[in-house]
Amino acid sequence: MILSKADFRCHRKIVFLLLPSARRIVPCSDRRLLRSPPERPFSRCLPACGSALVARMNPADDREPTARFTVINTLRTVFTGLACFLTFQAGQVAPGWILAILLLFAVLWLLITLLWISAELQSGYLSLLPTFFDITLLTVYIYFTGGTLSTALLIYVYVVAVSSMNSRAPQGLFAAAYIVILYSGLTVAMAMDWLEPRNIVGPIRRPDPLEMAQSLTLVTVICFGVYFMIRGLVRSLESKNETLIKQAEDFQEVNRDLAAKNRMIKDELVVARKIQETLIPSKTVEGKGFKLESRYIALHEVGGDYLDFFMKREGHHGILVADAAGHGVPAALVASMTKMAAEQHKDKIHHPRHFLSSLNRAILDRTNLHFVAAIYALYHARRRKLEYCVAGNPPPYLVRPGEPARLLEGQGSVLGVIEEPRLNQYQVRLEPGDRIVFFTDGIDECRNARGEQLSQGQLEALLTGISSLEASENVADRIVSELENFTSGRGFEDDVTLVVLTVEPYK
């Protein structure tokens, strides 16, 4: 069959006419997806292109199918009117009137759907009504363009293919069956000479019976073949979407369970933090000839740092600062174990090295490789003498008025790893106005906005700057404030413990 230029131009117009009619997009076939957002993770909506649409999670998007149908029905009216105008302009009166009838139907259908019919109803059995009119008028057009020899027969395939995508009504089956019935009637009528052959776009030629039979067979096989093929694809997509729906619901249920457990864990950690805070001595302790200030900043809800003060009537005062390796709950448990061990060996606090050795034996093989770095100092207030022992923790700083801050000597092995750690005891004589600054490595490891770590020189300069402060001032708060300024608000990267011993006249 040869397609003339006139055939091509006329059929191109009718394709534009049928495009909006065939582009009816099928809304969700599962009403569960139109409920609250958590219950509709995926939509089973199938557009004309045949791919599954993923529904939006915003409840306001329930208006989206209605707007989509309004656009489709409006496009049908616009394209039909344009095709009708162009057909009359080309002098094709008969197809022009066919298009005029379709235009009237398109306008009426648009008004009815805007005023009375919802998108859900349009995608249901009411979808058969526009399909009925579209196929009827298309068949009339086929008759006027050559009948069984018309190339417009190809548009039947497009109508069946798109109609078969509707999973809420048998629109595809109806389209295929109605096309076969109507086209069979047209073929029989032309074979029995009840209708004269017409061709308004080319020469008139009466087809022989064999051509009619071949055309009818081809239309029947292709229409139903396309229907079953598209329905198979749609069912496959629906099955996959059902699986996705089930998986999404399972994921949401798991997420809800995890969120509930997460809230419970957070609540428990808040309680644990409050309990841990009760184990830490008050921020300021004053005694005869000295003042102690402490600050404890946990990186998480609970921290692995630990500090304690041991006060003796004879003027001997113990200061323990410990840092369990790691962060969070595991480190906090090791720190609690260290506190329990310290309470059990309080009788040895008068000798720093023996005291830390006792702590090592108490926690050895019980920390699951979470070692403990610590420093313990014993201050003799009457003699203003400080004895201390370092176990993997940074040694303290001596801050003396009028002099640069000085890092005291001190080194030793961490606790909880080997049975006999290397521990040494040191001592230093102090004067009124001196300050000893004990700290964990959370201060050494803090970084500025550029990611640069605090250097020893910067820390010494910071401590030198506070050497002139009066004994009545809160030195620990001042140090923490300066460190926070250095980090530019990015916070610390580890638990931070700070203890400042201020030497005062013994009176």
* Torsion angle (degrees, nearest 10) of CA 206, 211, 215, 218: -170
Residue 33: pLDDT over 60: no
Residue pLDDT, tens place only, 298-333 = 777 666 788 888 887 667 889 999 888 877 777 778
Residue pLDDT, tens place only, 382-394 = 899 999 999 999 9
DSSP state, 61?
A: G
User: Distance (Å, rounded) from C-alpha 77 to C-alpha 99?
Assistant: 11
Q: How confident is the model at residue 250 (pLDDT cuts 50, 70, 90)?
A: very high
Q: In what order do the strands lie in the sheet with 290-297?
A: 284-287, 290-297, 496-503, 435-439, 397-399, 406-407
Token digits for 24?
Answer: 């009816």
pLDDT on residue 63: 53
Q: With a threshold of 0.75, does the pTM exceed it?
A: no
The H or E element that residue 287 is part of is: strand 284-287
Token digits for 450?
Answer: 């550029």
pLDDT on residue 439: 92
The H or E element that residue 297 is part of is: strand 290-297
**287 forms bridges with which residues in the sheet?**
290
pLDDT averaged over every residue in the chain:
79
User: Distance (Å, rounded) from C-alpha 377 to C-alpha 76?
Assistant: 89
Token digits for 71?
Answer: 């656009």
Q: How confident is the model at residue 65 (pLDDT cuts 50, 70, 90)?
A: low
Q: Which domains does the chain have, with CATH numbers?
A: 7-253 (no CATH), 280-503 (3.60.40.10)
pLDDT on residue 495: 82
User: Distance (Å, rounded) from C-alpha 142 to C-alpha 149?
Assistant: 9
Residue 48: pLDDT over 60: no
DSSP state, 1?
A: -
DSSP state, 291?
A: E
